[in-house]
Amino acid sequence: MQISMYRASVPVFTRTLRNLAGILRKGEGFATARKIDPGVLLNYRLAPDMFTLARQVQIATDMAKGCVSRLAGVDAPVFADDETTFDQLIARIERCVTYLETFEPTQLDGTEQKSVTVRMRKGELKFQGLPYLLEFATPNVYFHCTTAYAILRHCGVEIGKPDFIGPA
C-alpha cells in the first residue's frame, strides 16, 4: 500500500495544531487565574538560546502551512509573526488550520518524489516529497508544539499528555 501524502500531512497537522490551541487556552486561563501577565508566559523560554513560547507557535504553524504548500506547488500565506497575546496566537493557529483544510488529497497524493527546496538562513535544503514530509516537516511541527507544551508545563500550567495527543 502506498502512503497518502494528504493523510500523512493535513489531518496530522490540523489535529496537532488544534491540540496546541487547546494547550494555549489552558495557559491563558492559568495566567488569568493567577493574575500573571500573559506576556511573561508568552515570552518564556526553556533555555537562553531557545525561542519563546510565542515563537514556537509561529514556527509550528509556518512549518505546517509551508510543508503542505510546497508539496502542492502553491505559495503559502505569509503570517506577520507579530502576535503578542494568547488570543492572537490561537487565531494564528485557526488561520493555519483553515488554510490547511482547503487542500484536497489530489493536490498532495503522488508528491512522494517531488523535488522540494526549503530556504533556510544557512542555505537551501533539498528533499524529495516523502522524506521532506516525514523526516523534516513533521518532526519540526512536533518539536515546536512539544516545546510550547513544555514551556507552559514548566511554568505550572496543568496540562498533560492527553492535552498534547488529543481525544482518541
Q: Tell whether 142 is covered by a domain.
A: yes
Section 141-164 average pLDDT: 97
Q: Tell whether 136 is covered by a domain.
A: yes
Per-residue pLDDT band for 14 (boundaries 50, 70, 90) equals very high
pLDDT in tens, 91-128: 999 999 999 999 999 999 999 999 999 988 889 999 99
Q: Tell whether 20 is covered by a domain.
A: yes
For residue 118, how many other CB atoms are within 10 A of its CB?
16
Q: Tell whether 3 is covered by a domain.
A: no
CATH code, domain with 39? 1.20.120.450
DSSP output for 39-78: HHHHT--SSTTSPPHHHHHHHHHHHHHHHHHHHHT-PPPP
CA 18, 121, 15 angle in degrees (round to 5)?
10
Q: Tell whether 168 is covered by a domain.
A: no
Report pLDDT for 3.
84
Section 56-81 average pLDDT: 97
Range of the domain at 45: 10-108+115-158
Q: Tell whether 139 is covered by a domain.
A: yes
Point out which residues pair with 123 in neighbouring strands: 120
Task: Enter the pTM of the model.
Answer: 0.96
Section 52-73 average pLDDT: 98
Cell of 65: 502551512
Q: For the chain, what's the residue count?
A: 168
Section 61-71 average pLDDT: 98
Report pLDDT for 167.
82
With a cut of 80, say whether residue 168 has pLDDT above it.
Answer: no
pLDDT in tens, 27-54: 999 999 999 999 999 999 999 999 999 9
With a cut of 60, say whether residue 1 has pLDDT above it.
Answer: no
Q: Tell whether 165 is covered by a domain.
A: no
**Under 8 Å CB-to-CB from 83, ≥6 apart: which residues?**
54, 57, 58, 89, 91, 92
Q: Tell whether 167 is covered by a domain.
A: no
Report pLDDT for 120.
86
Q: Of 65, 58, 15, 14, whose CA–CA distance to 165 is shortest?
A: 15
Report pLDDT for 2.
79
Domain count, the chain: 1
